[in-house]
Amino acid sequence: MDSRAKTEITVQGIGASQGIAYGQIFVYLQSDVEVPSYQVEPEKRIDEVARFDRALVVTRQQISKIKNEVEKNIGPEEAAIFDAHLMVLEDEALIGETIREFNATGCNIETCFQKVSSRYVQAFSEIDDEYLRERAGDLRDVAQRVLQNLLGQAENALNRLVDQRIIVGRDISPSESATLDRSAALALVMDSGSRTSHAVIVARSMKIPSVVGVRNLTQRVRNGDWAIVDGYDGLVILNPSESTLFRYGKIQERKRSFEARLLEANRQPATTLDGVTVPLLANIEKAEEVAKVKSFSADGVGLYRTEFLFLSAARMPNEQEQFLAYKTVVEAMAPAPVIIRTLDLGGDKPLAGKSDLFPKETNPFMGFRAIRFCLEHVDIFKEQLRAILRASAYGQAKIMYPMISGNEELARANAVLAECRAELKAKGVPFDEKIEVGTMIEIPSAAATADLLAQECAFFSIGTNDLIQYMLAIDRVNDRIAHLYEPTHPAILRTLRGVVTEAHKRKISVSVCGEMAGDPVYAPLLLGLGIDSLSMSPAWLPSVKYLIREMTMADARKLAEEALAMGSAKEIYAKCDAFYRARVRMD
């Protein structure tokens, strides 16, 4: 973009960390490490492996230092992000494959490590689950550091900005965001990324406004360009006019006042104006997040993703290790419920030290994963089920199966669970004998047979992310068709209403744990369709709770009925947005 051009341009992205900033842009173009390739003479191969070991040690020291600084300056929860980075350096599969590649080819260790780590990064990048897909950034960050240390290069850093700047980059790594100079970094803007990326989590903790998903903005701006970053609405306004600057000054004042009202509302129950209380729960992936769940006054944990425990470890955790992790969460949240989802692993999610369990698949998202994997590897499944059952003695744990496609799979899973119950009972190990068991509704076939599934479980949790993707045949990772991902598509609304109807006939509850649940524009629609509870990222709870307290359930039901009669996803969204704006006042 020509910096002399003064035309105001608005770029739409995704608001990832709330706040508004105005200032000059610094374009941060990280360059990939250029790795030379050459053959290592046989007599020098032992030394080459030793050089690799030294680079791993140095990298571990660097990351440990960053972790300690983050814990001191930001907090222990944000510091825990770097536990996953340290685990990468202990990953037997990654390190072992690198050594095997070196022994087989004789190429220098940098070339071998880059080849193997790139394969792992690619695998994580193709995962549909947004939380797990972002772990590709963690692995890429660690791999970059290892390569820099092998090549004797200085690490990239954003802690030496000469003046206050809005940082615009392609994809800023967690360790780079953690070393930001908070006094100089006005905002973060990234071409890629999502609201769940670790870099954004760190920025959010620092109260730095962030916008992600602006697609090639790094190629359209120059150092020194002036811009406004709106982390609320996901906007980057280049060359803002005087009227825009004035308007945003007023908006910022109103936003600060509104944030104070959000925090005040968050201390109150999520009760509508006509007296209906809605349970609002939190999605988590590790025990360290419990403190945040409590700080946002969640009514429990609606989705505990257990994959992180497996994917962040150097080896597969055993039953005792799993039990301790689940017990920590269940005990800390008691008497509130904790819904623990069993493993959603597959060919798209590399498992430490066990890559042989997952054959290479052309389409892993519809392949050997989740409950299919667990029913094939019953020993792994039973270890997890026993660990969850044991943890249930310390609070209100619930079990939830992922990716159930029909009644037969549910029956098989419940049969394995029955065996685990019997085994623990025979050994006199205590557990909650009335523990509730539910299933995710995220596959169209499960939604279509909800009446059958409802006979065999105690609750449903609708995973709208996958359900929408599978129903509309949309790959959200594919930028060319991602715009077709429409949560308000009439087919989706009719499906949700159908699932709720069948569940309520059997007197079982229905929750939504996908992204729709955490969006205050969609939340009233979901509740109007009959959804009983919503589960979301803890940080989204205040916005949803505020809106619930400003509406009546009768109005939400009317909104849903009107939406069901409409044929356009865009028109339905506009109606939901109008419902939201009529009740959320910024002044």
Give the pLDDT confidence of 266-322 residue by residue, as tens digits: 889 999 999 999 999 999 988 888 998 999 999 999 999 998 788 766 678 899 999
Residue 450 located in a structural domain: no
Residues 165 and 112 in one domain: no
Residue 451 located in a structural domain: no
Residues 85 and 228 in one domain: no
Indicate the range of 242-251, 279-288, 440-449 predicted with least confidence.
242-251
pLDDT at 1: 45
Residue 485 located in a structural domain: yes
In CATH, what number is assigned to the domain containing residue 349? Answer: 3.20.20.60
Nearest-angstrom CA–CA distance, 381 and 423: 14
| More confident call, 528 vs 345 | 528
Residues 182 and 298 in one domain: no
Helix, strand, or coil here: 510? Answer: strand
Residue 570 located in a structural domain: yes
Cβ atoms of residues 517 and 529 within 8 Å:
no
Quick one: pLDDT band at residue 189, thresholds 50, 70, 90? Answer: very high
Residues 353 and 213 in one domain: no
Residues 494 and 515 in one domain: yes
pLDDT at 25: 93
Number of domains composing the chain: 4
Q: Which of 151, 169, 192 is the last residue of a domain?
A: 151
Indicate the range of 153-157, 218-222, 294-298, 396-400 predicted with least confidence.
153-157
In percent, the amount of the chain with pLDDT more than 90 equals 54
Q: Which of 121, 151, 181 is the last residue of a domain?
A: 151
Residues 301 and 318 in one domain: yes
In CATH, what number is assigned to the domain containing residue 143? Answer: 1.10.274.10
Cβ atoms of residues 384 and 342 within 8 Å:
yes
Residues 486 and 370 in one domain: no
Q: Which residue has the tokens 């925090």?
A: 263
Residue 80 located in a structural domain: yes
Q: Structural domain of residue 569, as residue ranges?
A: 254-276+465-587
| 234, two tokens | 């996901």
Nearest-angstrom CA–CA distance, 52 and 54: 5
Mean pLDDT (the chain) is 86
Catalytic residue numbers, as ranges: 198, 513
Where in 240-336 does DSSP place strands (E)? 280-284, 301-305
pLDDT at 349: 47
- Name the residue among 228, 186, 236 with its Cα closest to residue 211: 236
Quick one: pLDDT band at residue 368, thresholds 50, 70, 90? Answer: low
Quick one: pLDDT band at residue 73, thresholds 50, 70, 90? Answer: low
Cβ atoms of residues 290 and 332 within 8 Å:
yes
The alpha carbon of 86 is separated from its chain's Cα centroid by a whole number of angstroms, namely 20
Residue 1 located in a structural domain: no
Residue 229 located in a structural domain: yes
Tell whether the model's pLDDT for residue 430 goes beyond 80: yes
Q: Which of 120, 151, 182 is the last residue of a domain?
A: 151
Average pLDDT on 146-167 reads 77
Buried b (16+ CB within 10 A) or exposed e, 106-127: ebbbbbbbbbbbeebbebbbbb
Residues 435 and 497 in one domain: no
Residues 98 and 177 in one domain: no
Tell whether the model's pLDDT for residue 480 goes beyond 70: no
- Name the residue among 122, 97, 131, 93 with its Cα closest to residue 307: 131
Residues 145 and 222 in one domain: no
Residue 66 located in a structural domain: yes
Indicate the range of 259-263, 304-308, 416-420, 476-480 predicted with least confidence.
476-480
Where in 332-449 does DSSP place strands (E)? 337-341, 396-401, 436-441
Residues 142 and 193 in one domain: no
Report the helix count and the strand count for the chain, using DSSP H and E. Answer: 24, 16
What DSSP designation does 483 have?
G
Contacts for 254-257: CB closer than 8 Å, 24+ residues apart: 254/586, 254/587, 255/18, 255/20, 255/586, 257/586, 257/587
Nearest-angstrom CA–CA distance, 189 and 206: 15
In CATH, what number is assigned to the domain containing residue 237? Answer: 3.50.30.10
Residues 194 and 332 in one domain: no
Quick one: pLDDT band at residue 65, thresholds 50, 70, 90? Answer: confident
